[in-house]
Each structure stands twice: as structure tokens, then as C-alpha cells.
Amino acid sequence: MANSWQGSPGPQGSDVGKVTEWGEHLGKEFDLLTDLFESPDEQEWQERALCAQTDPEAFFPEKGGSTREAKRICQGCEVRGECLEYALAHDERFGIWGGLSERERRKLKKRAV
């Protein structure tokens, strides 16, 4: 039984441009995915984070919700510095990271510039 693709004409002139464009887009998407799935060593600290053992809702409260509990947990966390470093490097815009809220991280970044 012949495969359906066998004997079909190859890409036509205008199709080649579309395939190239799609390939470039795919490359950008792939870069985003590789950023998400960094090497295990780079994210090893997350396994030791106290927040990994607690309710994530405390770290991502509704707008206007309390951040007190999350910040309290962060105070005793051994990887707090690594967590904050990660959030700043990856422009995390939501949640408590390294004991700081989004607003506090923005202020910290502005002072660093």
C-alpha cells in the first residue's frame, strides 16, 4: 500500500516561503520552551524551597489578598536568595518570590538600574 504522501508534488514556489516562515516561528517557540525547561542543576533549588511543600495559593493571592503567610514562609527558607534571583532574571510578574511581592521586586529592579 502506497503512502498518501508518495507521488504528491513537492512544495510550490509560494509554499517554500511559508514553510521557511513557519520554521522561523517554530525556532522562537522552541527557545521559549527551552527557557522553561532549564537544566536540572539550574532549578535544583526549587526542590528545597519551603513553598514547594505548602499551598501555592498563599504565594499567588488574589489582587488585594494577603501576602503575609507567604512572606512568613519565605523568611525561613534556605533558598530565598536563589528564588529571588530567579524571579528577577525571569521577570516573574506574579506571586511572592524570594519573600518579595511583584511591587517590591519592581522597586528593587529600579534601584539596581
Annotated binding site: 51, 74, 77, 83
| Residue 97 backbone dihedrals phi, psi, to 5 degrees | -130, 130
**Domain locations in the chain?**
41-112
Bridge partners of residue 100, in order along the sequence: 97
3-state percent breakdown (helix, strand, coil) of the chain, nearest 5: 60, 0, 40
In 3D, which of 91, 94, 100 has the Cα closest to residue 73?
A: 100
Q: Give the pLDDT confidence score for residue 41 in this predicted structure.
A: 65
Span 7-18, mean pLDDT?
55
Annotated binding site for [4Fe-4S] cluster: 51, 74, 77, 83
Output the DSSP codes for 82-101: HHHHHHHHTT--SS-BTTB-
More confident residue, 107 or 17: 107
Tell me the pLDDT tens digit for each residue of 37-73. 555 566 789 999 999 999 889 999 988 899 999 999 9
Q: How far is CA 18 from CA 6, 14, 15, 22, 32, in A?
A: 21, 7, 5, 6, 21
Residue 97 cell numbers, joined: 518570590
pLDDT band at 80 (very low <50, low <70, confident <90, very high): very high
- Compute the distance between CA of residue 94 and CA of residue 103 in angstroms, rounded to an integer: 9
Q: Give the pLDDT confidence score for residue 23 in this predicted structure.
A: 52
Q: Give the pLDDT confidence score for residue 5 in this predicted structure.
A: 47
- Please tell me whether residue 86 adopts helix, strand or coil conformation: helix
